[in-house]
A = this chain, B = another copy of it.
Amino acid sequence: MNGFPFTYETEVRFRDLDAMRHVNNATFVTYLESARLGWWLDVTRRDGLEALDLILARTEIDYRAPAFFGEAVRVGVRCVSVRRSSFALEMRVEEGASGRLLAEARKVCVYYDFKAQRSQPIPAPIRALLVAQNPGLAKE
């Protein structure tokens, strides 16, 4: 997806729909979650649940069009800013076959120590990987 270094794709499951017969608004947030975690494992070159040392501080999502049964969903992810222990993502959700825009989102994620139950500074090697993916982040 143009402008997004990572994309995640999934099918619309029947269970993703709600009684209005379109994909439920909270299910979009589940798609964003899978995309965000997939992006994180990809950019940090790690895998497994233990590597998901992130929590979510904020989500903004603008719903642009409904998605339906039989469709697929593609989510683009890009990191747009990095701070000491957090970073921001922009995400675009399109229908898989047509590219129809479904939603746009922005997330703030916190690098988190689940044992200590608090945020922690992003280690230099991970910061370097984020910058390697988006050189514009180095200026911050």
Give chain A's interface residues, CB within 8 Å of chain B: 10-11, 13-15, 17-21, 24-27, 29-30, 33-34, 37, 47-49, 52, 55-63, 66, 69-70, 114
Contact = CB atoms under 8 A, between A and B. Distances in A.
Contact of A14 (B17, B33, B47, B69): B33
B18 A26 contact: no
Q: Is the interface of A mostly helix, strand, loop or mixed?
A: mixed
A114 B20 contact: yes
So how many copies of this chain end up in the complex?
4
A39 to B, nearest CB: 12
A134 to B, nearest CB: 23
B10 A14 contact: no
Contacts of A63: 55-59
